[in-house]
Structure 1
Amino acid sequence: MSQLYNSIEPNIIDDEMVQKAVEEQCPEDIEKLVKREGINLKDVTELQLSFRNILQIDNLWQFGNLTKLQLDNNIIERIEALESLVHLVWLDLSFNNIEVIEGLDTLVKLQDLSLYNNRISKIEHMDTLHELQIFSIGKNNLTTLEDVIYLRRFKNLRTLNLSGNPFCDDEQYMLFVVAHLPDLVYLDFKLVSDTTVSISACEIRQEHLTEHLLCWYASNILAFRAGSLQKLGLQKHAAAFVEYLNGSFLFDSMYADDTEAAKLAHLPGVGDLLQAYPSWFVSVCENLFNYGLKEYEKREAEVSNFYESLHEALTANQQEGRKIILDFENRNKR
């Protein structure tokens, strides 16, 4: 338990706290009436329990028709006892001590969820929240950027706050998030532009293609090298590990016998994609080819400089050795 509790008296959600909260949020003109005659908790649709030092969620089963619940700025450690709140649309659990996302399975109507400023290290256990539109999980302990991919299942998600997490320091953070969640309108309180979406999508596609290409190429390079080098210059390409990358050979050999690719051509809209894809693939190959040659030439230059320096050092040593021997012989003649 946090040392913070040494100076804070933890509370529980009891009948007195609930009754007081309901009375406080009633309009002044009917507050006295509510205090005198009471209120049916099933009629309450909104409940604010902020800043009450609540340690554990409990005793909310009476609010069967609740649509909005504020539990922010407490000391809650677990998300629990919310099973009966099946009509909940808005839930605020920000500024607590929650470490794990859990206990949300029955909240299938939830549209707005805030877990801002907690201790959460992984985005998980939210599979049933199909209606989610706004999600705030900034200022937690999220370190793995790939966790964002989990949010792709929420087709209605338009507003997302991840700011203040460790993975936000990654230079690819913004592009990665927008590429995997292209329907976002707001990210970290900022409007997502169409330009950002386009750039990020292209970069992610190229990154995935390059990874696929390198893996495939590595597994098949021995087969390529088995053939004889028939043209002038291929020996250099082989030494640079870029043979057969300066053209369409790699693409043709990968897709020549691909029957599944031929089937895809019959799907609507795929025809145009298949026409553009080969040239783009070849362009990536050529980029790899040029990069490989550049690195090879750099290595060759470094090796050449090394041997030149070695030769100069050997020559200098030989000359110095001859001089020493000559001086020795001259001294002995005297």
Structure 2
Amino acid sequence: MSDIYNDIEPNVIDDEMVQKAIEEQFPEDIGKIAKREGINFKDVTELQLSFRNILQIDNLWQFENLTKLQLDNNIIEKIEALESLVHLVWLDLSFNNIEVIEGLDTLVKLQDLSLSNNRISKIEHMDALQELQIFSIGKNNLTTLEDVIYLRRFKKLRTLNLTGNPLCNDEHYTLFVVAYLPDLVYLDFRLVSDTTREAAVLKYQDFTELLEREEAQALAQLEEEQAKQKELEYHKAAFVEYLNGSFLFDSMYAEDTEAAKLASLPGVGDLQEAYPSGDFVSVCENLFNYGLQEYEKREAEVSDFYESLHEALTANQQEGRKLILDFENRNKTVIYDIADSKRDEYRGDILQLSDALMALEMLIADQLESPVTESHLISRSRVLRSAFSLTIFSTMTQCRDLENRHHEELLEISITALEKSLKNELDEDLPADVQMLLVDRTTIVNAVNTSHGIHLLKIDKRESDILSNINHWQTSVTEKAVQNEIDRNRERIREIVQYIDNLQEELDNLEIMEPIV
């Protein structure tokens, strides 16, 4: 193990270490150039930091395009600081002092992982590694065969090394692993034979079939939950989530303690039972269906806008390419002509091309400015927002009217109950907290009004949220269109300037390099 390095001063990963490691990866001549001119860490795809007595993983965030990382034969105690290495395919952490598998959640492209010769006692925290094909965790502290079952979730795993762990001493080790990981091709550096596979199936078939049924049920449940979540996200995008049922109605009563007390009064239970089954839920569902329709309209409007925009830009780009092609065909041989007149003519053509390309870009920018910032998208989004807002207001007004009607009926029943209570004519024994409401008219009326106020606040809040969302959509979609055009225009001008500068530089260099006769 890496304990043999403990008499050496532990190291941390710093810029000097990685710079040296990268230079060592190149042939000598290229390494010298890299050392002289420097290395952009973003361009590095492989990094070897083996045998460097590293104690802690750090300072690797700059290697965002790294695909292969070797950290073997160090004294690392914890897997950490790998979050930015999202393109990593191959990772070697063997021969270290790691005790827990962790810190791998972002490495979703990882195919080959080596954790051999560490101090790991449990296979865990690897769920994100769905691309894993090769896993080596030999010579650790794994003691329980059942831990291997965790690896069933990796459907692409074909090569596994567990040799040297205590669990390998179990007489049924090989058959157990092969039975529970039926897609393995290699186990402990050996090809899994058909004979071994058949024996494994025969011995553990009852257990694996039960596990497969449980996994199928769990998968079905997961898919159902994912489908529900996807549907909910769609409803949220339409701003009408939780309006397809009694959700709004239920939320009105969720925090209404007074309603729970009033429900004990004679006649109130029947009234409250009839309330949600009446028009309230129907009104909400009508808004829900309308909201989905409006969402599709909004998406179609935005899609049509960007399609038209794309057509205009494509036509403009084609015109620009035609200008460049005509220029290049016209000047194929001019640059090699030593005549000053030809060179001057070529220089003039470069300036003309620059002016033409810039004029073309100004033309498309002017054409796009009106529909983007003033006309089509803004006007259409305002129309859609206005129509939706009116429907929301109308629907929520209906909900408030229904709540007001319910409030009036509840108030009437409550006052009747109060009058009967004062005359000792109530036939029912009521809870103590309910009896406290039936002391006088003011108390019972305040309780009913408090309940009513809570309900109205819930309705108002839902209305406010929907209106806020639709207003935000209208603002964001137009701002995004404007910003996209600004970014596109800047990028196009940068491309034109760079192209013209390259042509000019090419001409200048040839003039400098001409031999003096």
Matched, 1:151 2:155: no
Cα distance change, pair 21–202 in 1 and its aligned pair in 2 (3 A):
same
Contact 2:5 2:74 (8 Å CA) reproduced: no
Q: Deviations over 1:122-145 (max 9, x none)?
A: 000000000000000000000010
Aligned equivalent of 2:55: 55
What one-letter code is carried by the residue in structure 2 that aligns with 1:152? R
Which one has a larger percent helix, Structure 1 or Structure 2?
A: 2
- Higher RCO (Cα < 8 Å, 6 or more apart): 2
Q: Secondary structure at the match of 1:62?
A: coil
TM-score (norm 1): 0.61
Structure 1: gaps (5+ residues): 211-334
What one-letter code is carried by the residue in structure 1 that aligns with 2:154? F
Cα distance change, pair 123–203 in 1 and its aligned pair in 2 (3 A):
same
Cα distance change, pair 42–186 in 1 and its aligned pair in 2 (3 A):
same
Cα distance change, pair 91–6 in 1 and its aligned pair in 2 (3 A):
closer
Matched, 1:100 2:100: yes
1:115-154 aligned at under 5 Å gives the runs: 115-154=115-154
1:278-297 aligned at under 5 Å gives the runs: none
Q: Secondary structure at the match of 2:113?
A: strand
1:2-41 aligned at under 5 Å gives the runs: 7-41=7-41
Matched, 1:81 2:75: no
Task: Give distance in 2, aligned partners of 1:150 and 1:166.
Answer: 17
What one-letter code is carried by the residue in structure 1 that aligns with 2:66? L
Q: CA deviation at 1:205?
A: 1.8
Contact 2:117 2:139 (8 Å CA) reproduced: yes
Cα distance change, pair 152–60 in 1 and its aligned pair in 2 (3 A):
same
Q: Deviations over 1:188-236 (max 9, x none)?
A: 00000112111101100256799xxxxxxxxxxxxxxxxxxxxxxxxxx
What one-letter code is carried by the residue in structure 2 that aligns with 1:61? W
Q: Secondary structure at the match of 2:160?
A: strand
Task: Give distance in 1, aligned partners of 2:86 and 2:56.
Answer: 19
Q: Secondary structure at the match of 1:176?
A: helix
Cα distance change, pair 9–159 in 1 and its aligned pair in 2 (3 A):
same
Q: Secondary structure at the match of 2:125?
A: coil
1:196-211 aligned at under 5 Å gives the runs: 196-206=196-206
Task: Give distance in 2, aligned partners of 1:42 and 1:3.
Answer: 33
Task: Give distance in 1, aligned partners of 2:52 and 2:133.
Answer: 28
Aligned equivalent of 1:109: 109
1:155-170 aligned at under 5 Å gives the runs: 155-170=155-170
Q: CA deviation at 1:29?
A: 2.6
Aligned equivalent of 1:177: 177
Q: CA deviation at 1:6?
A: 5.3
Task: Give distance in 2, aligned partners of 1:209 and 1:12.
Answer: 49
Task: Give distance in 2, aligned partners of 1:73 and 1:56.
Answer: 13
Name the larger-Rg structure.
2
Q: CA deviation at 1:28?
A: 2.1
Aligned equivalent of 2:44: 44
Structure 2: gaps (5+ residues): 211-517
Cα distance change, pair 164–109 in 1 and its aligned pair in 2 (3 A):
same
Q: Secondary structure at the match of 2:100?
A: coil
What one-letter code is carried by the residue in structure 1 that aligns with 2:77? E
What one-letter code is carried by the residue in structure 1 that aligns with 2:60? L
Cα distance change, pair 14–174 in 1 and its aligned pair in 2 (3 A):
same
Q: Secondary structure at the match of 2:150?
A: helix
Task: Give distance in 1, aligned partners of 2:153 and 2:198.
Answer: 21
Q: Secondary structure at the match of 1:182?
A: coil
Q: CA deviation at 1:4?
A: 5.6
Q: CA deviation at 1:27?
A: 2.0
Task: Give distance in 1, aligned partners of 2:207 and 2:156.
Answer: 27
Cα distance change, pair 6–83 in 1 and its aligned pair in 2 (3 A):
closer
Aligned equivalent of 1:65: 65
Matched residue count: 209
Cα distance change, pair 147–58 in 1 and its aligned pair in 2 (3 A):
same
Task: Give distance in 2, aligned partners of 1:10 and 1:199.
Answer: 49
What one-letter code is carried by the residue in structure 2 that aligns with 1:59? N
Q: Deviations over 1:112-160 (max 9, x none)?
A: 0000000000000000000000000000000010000000000000000
What one-letter code is carried by the residue in structure 2 that aligns with 1:92? D
Cα distance change, pair 94–3 in 1 and its aligned pair in 2 (3 A):
closer
Task: Give distance in 2, aligned partners of 1:123 and 1:149.
Answer: 9
TM-score (norm 2): 0.39
What one-letter code is carried by the residue in structure 2 that aligns with 1:187? L
Task: Give distance in 1, aligned partners of 2:71 and 2:152.
Answer: 27
Q: Deviations over 1:44-79 (max 9, x none)?
A: 000000000000000000000000000000000000
Q: CA deviation at 1:99?
A: 0.0
Contact 2:65 2:87 (8 Å CA) reproduced: yes
Cα distance change, pair 202–46 in 1 and its aligned pair in 2 (3 A):
same
